[in-house]
Amino acid sequence: MRSKIVAGNWKMNKNLEETEALLTALSAKLPDTQAEVMVAPTYVNLNTSVRHLESSTIQVIAQNMHFAENGAYTGEISADMLLHIGIDTVIIGHSERRAYFGETDEILAKKVTAALAKNMRVMFCFGEELEDRKSGNHFAVVESQLKNALFSLDAGSWSKIILAYEPVWAIGTGETASPEQAQEMHAFIRKTIAGAFDAGIAENVTILYGGSVKPANAEEIFSKPDVDGGLIGGASLNADDFVAIIKAI
């Protein structure tokens, strides 16, 4: 049985006080759920967030990390630094990292390898741009993103991988992929992984959908058989909305 996950990516939002207030509200309202619930606060608030949630089932994860062990990489954070404060899951490949910070497939492959070498879980994000979908290239783009970053992994690493399909045209735009479009792509992703590795790996990997998931559309998207939960941006910044999305899984 693969895990269900609802994860909130808080991006560059919420100062320390606001972070603690949101964590308190979330903890108080957290419904009973079989799903893993994760939040990704900004770096400066990760340590406090881990301490704040010490007695909670909500997991704190990181939005990014560098591939190097340590050294002269001003402004960057290593896997060991995350592990040292109790964080063992990291988002890699978010479309904003790709678009605004020049993270190529090659860089992302190095980050994935570095995180796995430290036994971390990787939430790997990928997805096509609007032009790719309009030109019917979306399957090829997704396949190449997966291939470039993940297909040279050994089969055993897949238990540490969580996939997050996020069509770029649906992120922060209010535009959501229809539940059918999400299902179609998730099924394609599973088929592609089955072809490159094996059917067991494809069946067991958790595939999240991300892109303008809201309380109003979460249940329908999550009801699709190959959608195992969501990576939530904007709606995870509000405790009531995030809790409603968790309830939808």
> Where does this chain bind ligand PEP (CB under 6 A)?
9, 166, 171-172, 210-213, 231-235
Nearer to ligand PEP, 52 or 98 (CB): 98
Whether 229 has a binding-site annotation, put simply, is no
User: Would the annotation count 169 as a binding residue?
Assistant: no
Residue 76 annotated among the catalytic residues of the structure: no
Longest dimension (CA), the chain: 49
| DSSP-assigned letter for residue 61 | -
User: Would you call 94 a catalytic residue per the annotation?
Assistant: yes
Q: Residue 39, SS3? A: strand
> Tokens 């207030």, residue?
21
Instruction: Give the shortest CB-15-to-ligand PEP separation in angstroms.
Output: 19
Nearest distance in Å: CB 195, ligand PEP: 27
Look-up of token digits 């939960």 = 229
Using alpha carbons, select from 54, 44, 57, 37 the residue that is nearest to residue 18: 44
State which residue, 126 or 158, has the beta carbon closest to ligand PEP.
Answer: 126
> From the candidates 96, 103, 128, 166, which is the catalytic residue?
166
The active-site residue, picked from 52, 94, 138, 186, is 94
Residue 69 buriedness (CB in 10 A; 0-12 / 13-18 / 19+): exposed
Q: How far is the CB of 211 from ligand PEP (least distance, A)?
A: 5
**At CA 113, angle to CA 166 and CA 123, rounded to 5?**
30
Which residues are annotated binding-site positions?
A: 9-11, 172, 212, 233-234
Provide the annotated active-site residues: 94, 166
Which residues are annotated binding-site positions for substrate?
A: 9-11, 172, 212, 233-234
